[in-house]
Amino acid sequence: MKRWQITFRRGLSRLLVRLGKLIHLGEPPERTAFAFALGVFIAFTPTFGFHYLTALIVFWILRLNLPALLVGTTVNNPFTIAPIYSFCLWIGLLLVGGKEPRQPIDWELSWSLIAQLRPLLVPFLVGTLLVGTIASLLSYWLFYRLARRRWLAKQKRLMGVAGRGRGQAGQTPPPLS
């Protein structure tokens, strides 16, 4: 096996261990998956630069799992922001219609910049909200399945340890949907 493959596998296993620790924060899988999915939705919103602040406000209002919420928010980071927002704008332009600017945009901060970007505002909002909703639904489903599997394994271990000493203990896990 090549050295880069070993490094990649080691890094992936470390990431999975950290994700497993995030799942084991004492909350039910549904609640943790909801917090993660809401963080992913926040990552896609057009509140660039205020994603973490938005996540903290949502945490304060809903009292969700803060680490899961923040990890979901980091989907949009300096490496992924350009592809994510470009894709969202493209989807918005397909749905709402509109034209991409044919001339180069003058990025000097002025009123003319706002006038140049105004036709892209509605397609950008529609694209980010639609793609964010789809991404958050998918992330909820994936994260819930992973968290559920880990939660069931933990319940099984706890029932096995408690069952040896005092008979039946613990609660019955809810059915897998």
Distance CA 70, CA 117 (A): 30
> pLDDT tier at 112 (50, 70, 90 boundaries)?
low
CB distance 51 to 43 below 8 Å: yes
Higher pLDDT, 77 or 112: 77
Give the Cβ contact number of residue 55 at 10 Å.
23
Over residues 11-33, mean pLDDT? 71
Sign of CA dihedral 139, 145, 148, 153: negative
Over residues 58-74, mean pLDDT? 88
Q: Would you state the pLDDT for residue 167?
A: 46
